[in-house]
Structure 1
């Protein structure tokens, strides 16, 4: 009995820390773009390449008798992986970072977390699900919360830079594709293997645009290096690993609920550390979106 309690506690800690690292990773990225002037293209390349390698190494450590190349056994699977890498992993990572670069981590994270509503709409349009009262409530919460977050209730003034809003919406749409399209791959392979290869492949593609070696490493300070390590590895690879590891001790339903800590952490860190200020109706919008995220998670967990 005591052992089961300890294992459950370990799972909760892993899930909470993993989700928190994701949220903090976005805020650290915000700091690096705004305060240390790190180029977003180089940062995305480094984030994807290094995190992909780290995850594949972790997969091999945990599965010593399995090949990391097992996902490349069929042409159709390779095609699916490449599509997922480009239009799922690369697009969602780049769009999220671009939204942060033009705005801030809190707004970018909230815009990305609207993705479950896009998924609901997709299934309704495809007639795979019937339109329910819950769907209407989710859409109203989304529209109301997003409107207040971006405008503070004004119909004539946008408080968030338009490029940040556009990239944030693209990030949410890309996450929708990421979630739906990955289902077939995740049904056959461990998520750490799929995500590891998707990151590595998309990182190699980004490397053609912004080579990882095209960076003035001599100008790096100790603090900037520490922030880069955290943003690239801690807020990406380790965060994902902890969250997936928590599934060893918790159900997927439970980890989904703990995952809602990510946007909360991004908002709190942005406000306390980066001094991002929100107007009263923006705070109402934030609460509506958080309620939406929590409600969607509870529905998924039921």
Structure 2
């Protein structure tokens, strides 16, 4: 029963992540809310609430203790600005200029970039598993973006660029946070990463700059869902599932996210999704599963989708 509880937590959390992308797209299409504003609010509110929750747990001493070690001070700042903001901003801009389903799947290319990084850094030839996984990912990406025809891009080049960049940012996030995760609990690290990233975003997109937005109940409900359900609760459920499942199991079950993102895009937003795109999406998910069965390198144990914040 405990194992089943952990599985349900991951699936529900991943479903919230997938749904939040579709809900964000609805906000971009129906209102003047921008990706920059939504990311700023999402990071600041979720980060603050996550740290407040942590203050009520046995890890409360870590909340402010992280800033007492000069060794990690700069690391946390870089983690928040380049890791947290990188993932969030690139992902939502990809949605804003394209659609949630494709943006989510492009972000899931992160294991490919981790594998490439490991190969270059350690000068190791990729094993058969990695070669096949990367080949499947390339094929899947091609089908996803073209629906089988080179002359038919399913999303704009701008959306494609930001989507791939979000995958690169997720790879950086996973690799760079490895040492930090060994010293701090996930909730503290991610909470401060969100706060640092949110403060950084304030200099680019002020949280008070929402001119022209009609704050109707549907609009408020969507923002609430993205910030609370799609960020805070999604992460918290994922984190709790670690009590009952291994990180590898949780990461693989997290593949529920792109499936939900696709279904939500089709049902809620009426985004057309061709047969070749479906095949491409399946290829990307198969790649994630294959990568999840074996680390990208014996020396680089960066979890592809700890998803401790996205």
Q: TM-score category by the smaller chain?
A: over 0.9
Query: Match for residue 240 of structure 2?
Result: 245
Q: Does 1:159 align with 2:188?
A: no
Q: Deviations over 1:67-111 (max 9, x none)?
A: 411111122201000111111111111000000000001000000
Query: Match for residue 102 of structure 1?
Result: 97
Q: Distance in 2 between matches of 1:152 and 1:217?
A: 36
Q: Deviations over 1:114-142 (max 9, x none)?
A: 10011011101112644111111111111
Helix, strand or coil: the match of 2:113?
A: helix
Query: Match for residue 293 of structure 1?
Result: 288
Helix, strand or coil: the match of 1:209?
A: coil
Q: Does 1:43 align with 2:38?
A: yes
Q: Which segments of structure 1 move beyond 6 Å, counting only runs of 4 or more? A: none
Query: Residues 193 and 31 from structure 1, CA distance in 2 versus in 1: closer, same or farther, beyond 3 angstroms?
Result: same
Query: Match for residue 188 of structure 2?
Result: 193
Deviation at 1:218, TM superposition (A): 7.8
TM-score after normalising by structure 2:
0.91
Q: Does 1:73 align with 2:68?
A: yes
Q: Does 1:17 align with 2:12?
A: yes
Q: Distance in 1 between matches of 2:77 and 2:93?
A: 22
Query: Match for residue 24 of structure 2?
Result: 29
Alignment of 1:226-245 (within 5 A): 226-245=221-240
Unaligned regions of 5+ residues in structure 2, if any? 296-302, 304-310
| Residue 169 of structure 2, aligned match among 165, 168, 174 | 174
Q: Distance in 1 between matches of 2:212 and 2:29?
A: 18
Unaligned regions of 5+ residues in structure 1, if any? none
Would the aligned equivalents of 2:40 and 2:198 in 1 still touch at CA under 8 Å? Answer: yes
Q: Distance in 2 between matches of 1:21 and 1:218?
A: 25
Deviation at 1:224, TM superposition (A): 0.9
Q: Distance in 1 between matches of 2:222 and 2:60?
A: 35
Q: Distance in 1 between matches of 2:11 and 2:147?
A: 31
Query: Match for residue 213 of structure 1?
Result: 208
Helix, strand or coil: the match of 2:61?
A: coil
Root-mean-square deviation (CA), in Å? Answer: 1.7
Q: Distance in 2 between matches of 1:205 and 1:62?
A: 28
Higher helix share: 1
TM-score after normalising by structure 1:
0.93
Q: Deviations over 1:222-260 (max 9, x none)?
A: 111011000012101111111001111222122112111
How many aligned residue pairs are there? 296
Query: Match for residue 198 of structure 2?
Result: 203
| Residue 138 of structure 2, aligned match among 143, 161, 173 | 143
Q: Distance in 2 between matches of 1:95 and 1:144?
A: 23
